[in-house]
Amino acid sequence: MTPLINPVTLFFASIFTSNILLTNFLGTCSFISISKDWKSSFGLGMAVTVVMTITAAVSWLVLEYVIAPLELEYLSFIVFIVVIAAVVQILEMVIDRASPALYMSLGIFLPLITVNCAILGAILFMQIRHYGFVQTVAFGAGSGLGWWLAILLLAAIRERTEKNPVPAGLKGPGITMITIGFMAMAFIGFSGMIAVQ
Amino acid sequence: MKAPKAVAILKDNLWANNPIFIQILGICSTLAVTNSLNNTLVMTVGVALTTAFSSLTLSALKDLIPRKVRMIVQVVVISFYVILIDILLRAYLPEASRQLGPYVGLIITNCIIMGRAEAFAQANPPLLSFWDGLTSGLGYMAVLMAIAAVRELLGFGTLFGLRVMPEGFVPWTIMIMAPSAFFLVAMVMWWAKSVQARRQTAGKEAKK
């Protein structure tokens, strides 16, 4: 499989060439509804990046030291979901204590993240591709940053094109999907640079 | 289950309130596999069954679940059904299971399932909720199968893995890649919304 990929390569690859949103479609739901507003997009993107890095690392540890020795692979979906929910909950409490200002800007997005497909997706990819610990952290952080980048770009584009005339049937989500399609095409341009997968 | 209500739910979920082009739910986990009809079929059947059975279960249990822990109970019930589907796929369709990879597990985070559980199963009897979940899954399946048909036909020149295009056909590489799925979803939305808008105006004029 892929145990030999350099973590640094993996990090950049998961931001650009195999962006979790634009090539794997993960996290599209919240992506479309939140990207109307640049500020919220920034907050959600940051929250996704933080949560994804931490949950990927924690899930790797759980997978390696709890699930694998006990041969509970068939329960792994439930375990991952619980890990995500727990990390989000703990993070919420820690941020609330440590920095109320950050909590105000990040707090409302944290519960949303529990059901963000991108987080679970990153964990499942990690499991299927047999990444090591350092690779997992690099992959989690890279995928999160890639998602953040994508939502910021889309929010910026949507802010610019909001007033443009669009056929009535295509208003709202329709034109957003087309915009994402163009972004995905642009990101394909990166794909010659690093070959992963 | 009363027949007229069941029919109304069917119509609503397939067309007027279709999960994809009206509610924009649950696109994430399945769009990635729409470059092959076989995989799309397996995946959407999985989604439809999960939605139906988790709605049934949650509706039957709704009086027993405290409101505060509702979300986590929903997620656990959904994960349970997804694990069943994953195990069944591995046993009976190992090839499809290998190709779908992580996407089977991602059915858990498909927003349609949670959406139906929250919006419908909370307030309706179990059988009706089952029907609602199933028909939502069918509406979802219909759209994704249409998208998959276009992508597979133009991207590989095949339908369900069988060659249909003539010898000299040059496959459209873009159709296999991610952007085409976004464009096709947008096209479906455009078409559906335009038709619905036309019917609405036609209906209003008829009333005058």
| pLDDT over threshold 90, residue B53 | yes
Q: Report the mean per-residue pLDDT for chain A.
A: 81
**Å between B11 CA and nearest CA of chain A:** 21
For residue A25, give the nearest of B194, B16, B151, B159 by alpha carbon: B151
Which of B72, B80, B197 lies at the smallest CB-CB distance from A85?
B72
In this predicted model, what pLDDT tens digit does every residue of A11-68 receive, in sequence order? 888 888 778 877 777 777 777 777 777 887 888 888 888 889 999 999 999 988 888 8
| Whether B102 and A121 lie within 8 Å, measured CB to CB | yes
For residue B103, give the nearest of B119, B120, B89, B116 by alpha carbon: B89
**Residue B108 with chain A: CB contacts under 8 Å:** 77, 81, 120
CB contacts under 8 A, A 78-107 vs B, are 78, 80-81, 85
- Considering only A89-98, A138-147, B6-15, which range has the smallest mean pLDDT? B6-15
**Å between B152 CA and nearest CA of chain A:** 17
Whole-prediction pTM? 0.82
Burial class from Cβ neighbours inside 10 Å (0-12, 13-18, 19+) for residue B13 reads buried
Mutate to test the interface with B, among A110, A177, A190 (most CBs of B within 10 A): A177
Number of Cβ within 10 Å of residue B94's Cβ equals: 10
For residue B111, give the nearest of A25, A28, A46 by alpha carbon: A28
**Å between A185 CA and nearest CA of chain B:** 6
Range from A143-152, A160-169, B17-26, B96-105 that averages highest in pLDDT: A143-152
Mean pLDDT of B75-91: 90
Query: What pLDDT shows up at residue A1?
Result: 42
Query: What pLDDT shows up at residue B49?
Result: 92
Which of A25, A168, A174 lies at the smallest CB-CB distance from B27?
A25
Residue boundaries of the structural domains of chain A: 7-192
In this predicted model, what pLDDT tens digit does every residue of B94-134 receive, in sequence order? 888 888 878 888 888 877 888 888 888 888 888 888 988 89
Mean pLDDT of A121-126: 86
Query: What pLDDT shows up at residue B153?
Result: 86
In this predicted model, what pLDDT tens digit does every residue of B141-173 receive, in sequence order? 888 888 888 888 888 888 887 777 777 777 787
> Residue A50 and residue A28: Cα distance in Å, rounded?
18
What's the complex ipTM? 0.78
| pLDDT over threshold 80, residue B28 | no
> Residue A84 and residue A111: Cα distance in Å, rounded?
10
**Residue B191 with chain A: CB contacts under 8 Å:** 169
